Amino acid sequence: LVRENLSSVAAFASRFQRETDLMERVSHLNVLRALGSGVWKNRLFYAVERLPGEWLEDHLCSGARFSTEEVIHVGLGMSRALLAAEAFGITPVRPRTSSVYLTSDGTVKLADIGLARILSDGVSPETVWSTLSPEKARGEKEDGVSDIYSVGVVLYHLALGKPPFEGYDSHTSFVYQLLNTPPTSLREAGCMISSDLERVILRCLSKDRGSRPAGPEALLKELLSVQDQSKAGKPTAGGAQDECGDFEIREDVVLAEGGMGTLFKGRQRSLDREVAIKVIRDLHSGNSEFQVRFRQEAELLAQVHDGNVVQVYGAGTWKGRPFYAMELVDGVDLAHRIAHGPKIGIPEVLHVALGVASALRAVWKFKIVHRDIKPSNILWRADGTIKLTDFGLAKSMRIQRNDTRYIMGSLGYLSPEQGLGSPVDIRSDIYSLGVVLYEMVSGRLPFGEEDSSKVIQAHAHAPIPPIPPERGVPESITRIIYRCLSKKPDDRYQDPAELLTDVEIALREPQATVPIAPVAPEARSTARVDSVEKNEYQLALSLGDYRQARKAAELRYGRESAEYAHAAARAQAAEVHQAETRALERFRDKDWNGAAESYRSIVDLVNQSRRSELADAINLCLLL
């Protein structure tokens, strides 16, 4: 719907009709198809095809950064859409993040072609200044090369999580930056995209239109060239062999060896802190497929900032081999704990479930699927924090990638859809987490990991072997594990948040007291430093004052921490329990309206299956 003040202007209405008529003629994969226009309640409107997906602006509002592969994908889609519009004489298009749509299958669709220019002509510059071209700011005529600038703004925003210029306090300061200040280098600002892609984006953002790609076709060719270089895993032309930047690598201290890389101990000079540095193995340094996967791992992991996910600090090149530096975790992996003990109790099983599910919730916010959830990729820090690591097989669901013909993952932990080469989403990771939990409580994998074909078929078709009764696993935890291990993704938890709700409920049970994390001997000498702040948080949890625990966690650890998420979930679970108790008391007192109101108060705080039960309870109260 067009705003009423514009709809009432005859000249605007006439131009609107001409542009929408022209839009309807444009049929292209990367253009959101216009279906028609008209007037409703004295307001102009136009209709477009409705497809499952999200606007690019919504992705960016969540704080997302896009990887090299994803930025190129969006840039190619936008370039092809601009070419289609150009064929019908529609230029400039003035693309922006709010006019780019990503369908659920990853197709890039450009909306409002033709309309963007007349709508922006009718509003103040402040509403569209983020993609304003320098020539528009100077009052000059715009053309297809001006659209290249706008594409550059969008791609810059995707790579860094913010536009090149924002204006410090006013439109005037924004225009000054736009006309006089060069954009900050993406890689210097901490972005991990390839230097080839950075050069293309910065060329698009040239103040002089003659220095930009000459139009959508030229930009398309440049992006395709960068994509070819990226897929081939070729080093950047003119790039130095060693670009360690802020990091020192201790070649004599090897922390671990993996299939793709070697993990060294290192140091970040600027912050004088120890880090772990993963370097691609020399064996794979000339293999383009491994080069691409290694870079993708670093870029995907760098998007996520969460207390239950190992953090990435930067990247570079060492002895001609790419590396990335990440958080050094003081602790052991879960595989070591399972193999060497001590025995894992029920509280600790729930503690691991809580940590990994929280990590999956964080990565799914960026539409990332890990695809290799297993004990060796779950780290147990000395202070008890659970950390998810190794994103070497991770996949972004924001773009479509045809790799389902390969079996990605570790045999014993494969979901049915992984084993059969079918498309996966976050529910595949939930299945793999279910396997990990099953292994923790039963002491073995459900189907072993010896014969690959038999294991894959068993995960896809065989019933899950029952957990031995002598293990003493509570029914609530058994239900969680078996639901995670449902053969059909639709029968599992549909997202990590739903799983977390049930884990939090299980934590309230008497046998699921929050575990006291083991403190490594080397950490005990410094444990007293934070005792006052930590005691307030732990004491509040112990006393069951979850609201106070949430406040203490926010002050001590921050709202993004695992501690805050844990306390908030416990507070919500306690709130639900209190409301349910109050509702039942009112029901027994025949206060039907009061009971219905109490049940209504928690509808938004529980999972889907509980909501349907609450609906039945509310309806019963209303009938009585």
Catalytic residues: 372
Backbone angles phi, psi at 369, to 5 degrees: -110, 130
- 3-state SS of 415-476? CHHHHCCCCCCHHHHHHHHHHHHHHHHHCCCCCCCCCHHHHHHHHHHCCCCCCCHHHCCCHH
The CA distance from 186 to 158, in Å, is 11
Q: Where are the alpha helices (DSSP H) in 125-281?
A: 134-137, 144-160, 171-180, 195-204, 216-232
Q: How far apart are CA 567 and CA 569, in angstroms?
A: 5
Which tokens belong to 563? 């501690």
Report the C-alpha gap between 3 and 12 in whole angstroms.
11
> Alpha-carbon distance 76 to 72, whole Å?
6
Tell me 125's DSSP state: G
DSSP state of 13: H
The values of phi and psi at residue 607, to 5°, are -80, 175
Joined together, the tokens standing for residue 111 give: 């909306």
Which residue reads 């190794």 in tokens? 390
CA distances from residue 162 to 180, 186, 529 in whole angstroms, order as listed:
19, 11, 38
For residues 68 and 300, the answer to whether their CB atoms sit within 8 Å is no
Contacts 24+ apart (CB under 8 A), 262-265: 265/328
Tokens 């990605």: give the residue: 408
> What 3-state class would DSSP assign to 478?
helix
Q: What is the distance between the alpha carbons of residues 459 and 370, in angstroms, rounded to a whole number? A: 18
Distance CA 460, CA 307 (A): 33
616 half-sphere exposure, CB direction, 13 A CA radius: 5
What tokens does 226 get? 């960068």
Output the CA–CA distances (angstroms, integers) from residue 421 to 403, 410, 444, 562, in the order listed.
8, 13, 25, 33
Half-sphere exposure (CA, 13 Å, Cβ side) for 619? Answer: 6
